[in-house]
Structure 1
């Protein structure tokens, strides 16, 4: 059987993982006759070439893309502009394309998908979202007769690891240092801890789940850097854990998209997903609720998702057909604002009580008070009300607003209860 030649753009952590798995030649892979013949790298040294004696290394990525003997291009180099130019050329050359680049797919996925369809080739990107969890393939194949109404999950392993350590008693700085020491966080962790990485993944998920297109500006995003140990004590008191959630709620062509540290009920399965693991819950008409979980990052889990795409692409080439492209022509979405309960975190001078704040803002819910920290668990409100509260709190004498965190509720509704009038009965001293 004819060998299927693969060109690899990038030999970093994931690229090495792809090469390692292919070299194992498991029975399923051996029958496909896949071979990485060329790879583009940023720097080329004799030592590096010696590490991959069967692969011709080059610093000329375009030469790999234009090689007539290569049928499949795998891009794991990262970035947006250069990979976009290279993959456009690869698709125009009639090559099958696989990428693990979430930033690229979130930004230019529609353009690349349209170009792949025009040239009758495949574009696959399972590894771009949630590492080793086969979520995109699940969306492509398992919901043909079903309608997904909402999704929520943990899409960034770095943030989840940090919040897991904070729940165990670490400060944010201590948890971040641990994540960096273990290789989960970069020296500059901004994309992870500010929710940008998760936001790109959410754009891809909503495109495939709902056949709707949204923009980064449509996502209500906040990072985890303002969280403190007091937030976790308050969440625990109210019966929640704090998780770095992505969520998408749908009503017709409207989407409510959020990326934020979110309070999850302890009774919900997402609350038990810890450390660097990812998870996603899909709500649909027929299956009600489906949850997938697994490692969200790392060389081999992400590379394994690339290999799954390689296997599907190779089988398609052997059968002489091109896999159907998902999300070929998504419709534009408009904004949806679903009322949600919130947790307001404040620092106080000791003279202002939680009941003072609640009465002034018209909040109904519960109060947690510990030292100079106040946490108010509110009724379900829309974003306009949250903005009004935020503005009022920023002008409130005697308090300092830390953040306002959403409460996750699968049914999108919160229980409204009257405020306790005696704070001492429900306060907790750490």
Structure 2
């Protein structure tokens, strides 16, 4: 298996490092996996790899059968993803923004060109949730999916419950590296909406037009809101929720006051959790840290291995 990696940020660096570190152990089990070329706009100090700043060199390399897209956004990443699939190369991506907006087209291109499109890392980072829905729980007719899908927001809400104002909690999250300098996508619920949209597509086969998803973030919550919930034994969580009533797919993102007896009540700090309610399995919860270079890279590599194994 020959890979081209496009994007060498935190996740991309960790993907290359883990593949190198685990090469002897894992390649004995499933066969050789080799990184042929790496594309990044800035040269890297990783030795022993062929680098380029032109992604077309990756796509035009006939040796490469699988492209790992890790640049994020929907500009160049969209063009790269389309070109990859049209070049009859498999695509692995962690790009939830891309899939939420253009997934319908990309899934169709993968099917048309008879290649794989894998995206485990797009939801929950290192928490395995995409594969279980596709492979382990697919027989269910899901009643409802909901989850805490953004660790930044969950951390801020936890700190607000401990007494910080929204602005102070955000500042603390940024200081600790849990929030970006521009946290808009996180705190306004957009990132959560991307992820719940992907999960809904998996469960019910429909990718809802993103502009039609109801999205409310946490930036309007105050200390008084948090304290009022606490006084009633409730705890605010930013939830992405989806259900299909037989005719219409409903997706909403909003801060919800969760009861103590609910499974998501005790998910605090930067942790994420996804709750799936299936007609055969009942409620199943997937829980863990939803971000971080190593965790997300692990999910990316699991997709690479799936393609290698023909799954």
Per the shorter chain, which TM-score range?
over 0.9
Query: What whole-Å deviation, never above 9, does each CA across 1:152-206 have from its counterpart, x for those lacking one?
Result: 1101111111111111111111111111112111111000000011111111111
Q: Please list every run of 5 or more consecutive structure 1 residues that lacks an aligned counterpart in the other structure.
A: 317-322, 324-430
Q: Distance in 2 between matches of 1:224 and 1:30?
A: 48
Query: What whole-Å deviation, never above 9, does each CA across 1:265-294 have from its counterpart, x for those lacking one?
Result: 012120111111110111111111111101
- Give yes or no for contact 2:100–2:207 (8 Å, CA) kept in 1: no
Q: Choose between structure 1 and 2 for higher RCO, CA contacts under 8 A separated by at least 6 residues.
A: 2
- Give yes or no for contact 1:29–1:311 (8 Å, CA) kept in 2: no
Q: Distance in 1 between matches of 2:134 and 2:124?
A: 15
Q: Please list every run of 5 or more consecutive structure 2 residues that lacks an aligned counterpart in the other structure.
A: none
Q: 1:297 aligns with which of 291, 297, 300?
A: 291
- Give yes or no for contact 1:212–1:253 (8 Å, CA) kept in 2: no
Q: Distance in 1 between matches of 2:81 and 2:60?
A: 11
1:34 aligned to 2:33?
yes
Q: 1:102 aligns with which of 96, 99, 112?
A: 96
Q: 2:115 aligns with which of 105, 121, 130?
A: 121
Q: Distance in 2 between matches of 1:107 and 1:132?
A: 22
1:17 aligned to 2:14?
yes
Match for residue 278 of structure 1?
272
1:195 aligned to 2:189?
yes
Q: Distance in 2 between matches of 1:23 and 1:189?
A: 33
- Give yes or no for contact 1:241–1:264 (8 Å, CA) kept in 2: yes
* 1:145 CA displacement: 2.3
3-state SS in 2 of match to 1:11: coil
* 1:30 CA displacement: 4.6
Count of equivalent residues: 309
Segments of 4+ in structure 1 off by > 4 A?
none
- Give yes or no for contact 2:103–2:207 (8 Å, CA) kept in 1: no
- Give yes or no for contact 1:78–1:101 (8 Å, CA) kept in 2: yes
1:160 aligned to 2:154?
yes
Report which of the two structures shows the higher radius of gyration computed on alpha carbons. 1
* 1:237 CA displacement: 1.2
* 1:218 CA displacement: 2.4
Distance 1:29 1:269, change over 3 A: farther
Task: Describe how 1:57-72 pairs up with structure 2 within 5 A.
Answer: 57-72=51-66
Q: TM-score, normalised by structure 1?
A: 0.70
Query: What whole-Å deviation, never above 9, does each CA across 1:74-126 have from its counterpart, x for those lacking one?
Result: 00001112111112111122211100011111111111111111111100011
CA RMSD of aligned residues (A): 1.3
1:261 aligned to 2:255?
yes
- Give yes or no for contact 2:104–2:207 (8 Å, CA) kept in 1: no
* 1:36 CA displacement: 1.4
Q: TM-score, normalised by structure 2?
A: 0.96
Q: Distance in 2 between matches of 1:256 and 1:126?
A: 23
* 1:21 CA displacement: 1.1
- Give yes or no for contact 1:149–1:249 (8 Å, CA) kept in 2: yes
- Give yes or no for contact 1:149–1:284 (8 Å, CA) kept in 2: yes
Q: Distance in 2 between matches of 1:40 and 1:181?
A: 30
Task: Describe how 1:316-331 pairs up with structure 2 within 5 A.
Answer: 316=310, 323=311
Match for residue 43 of structure 1?
42
- Give yes or no for contact 2:146–2:196 (8 Å, CA) kept in 1: no
- Give yes or no for contact 1:66–1:90 (8 Å, CA) kept in 2: no
* 1:256 CA displacement: 2.5
Query: What whole-Å deviation, never above 9, does each CA across 1:192-234 have from its counterpart, x for those lacking one?
Result: 0000111111111110011123122222111111211111111
- Give yes or no for contact 1:37–1:54 (8 Å, CA) kept in 2: no
3-state SS in 2 of match to 1:262: strand
- Give yes or no for contact 1:97–1:123 (8 Å, CA) kept in 2: yes
3-state SS in 2 of match to 1:243: strand
